[in-house]
Amino acid sequence: MTKNNIQNFREASRAYSDASIFMHEAIARKAGLSSTDHKYLGLILQYESITAGEISKLTGLTTGAVTGLIDRLEKKNLLKREFTKEDRRKVIIIPNTENSMKLLGHIFEELQQKTMKLVSTFSKKEIETIERYFREATVLMKETTDHLNNP
């Protein structure tokens, strides 16, 4: 790989990262959420249920910040708290997928259609290469995040 290839790749990667942040900011504003709450809601929606402690561990947020996040999302009826019978201090978070999709689904549906149209222009091999990059880059980012959160 030449120095020019590396520079072009870095520029494209940075432009993609910046555009992603700006797009998610705009989506969050449109939905009446902060960008942080929007992204963490997306994380929570990946689970049928999750504890506040698990959210803290996954995100690196303090327990107080997680409580604030849960309060804000619960107030918008995007999730609910349930307390376990064994230990009422343990809080289980249940995402309200239906309300979340009502709020965000139409935005992501259009994006998904445009993304699939773009993806259809790539060969199977190109898609596999792009997927491999995203998966391996995600591992690197998680490792960096863990290192920064746990020095």
Distance between CA atoms of residues 26 and 108, nearest Å: 12
pLDDT tens, position by position, 121-140: 999 999 999 999 999 999 99
- Class of the domain covering 3-120: mainly alpha
Distance between CA atoms of residues 65 and 54, nearest Å: 13
Q: How far is CA 88 from CA 54, 77, 84, 91, 113, in A?
A: 16, 21, 5, 7, 44
Instruction: Give the DSSP H or E segment for 81.
Output: strand 79-83
Residue 65, token pair as written in the block? 């910040």
Range list of H helices, 1-123? 3-31, 35-44, 52-59, 63-75, 97-119
Question: How many CB atoms are located within 10 Å of the residue 57 CB?
Answer: 12
pLDDT tens, position by position, 33-56: 999 999 999 999 999 999 998 999
Mean pLDDT over each residue of the chain, to the nearest integer = 92
Is 0.85 topped by the overall pTM? no
The residue ranges of every structural domain in the chain are: 3-120
Provide CB contacts within 8 A for 62, sequence distance 6+: 56
- Residue type present at position 98: E
pLDDT tens, position by position, 89-101: 778 999 999 999 9
pLDDT above 90 (res 149) = no
Residue 100, token pair as written in the block? 């979340």
114: pLDDT confidence band, cut at 50, 70 and 90?
very high
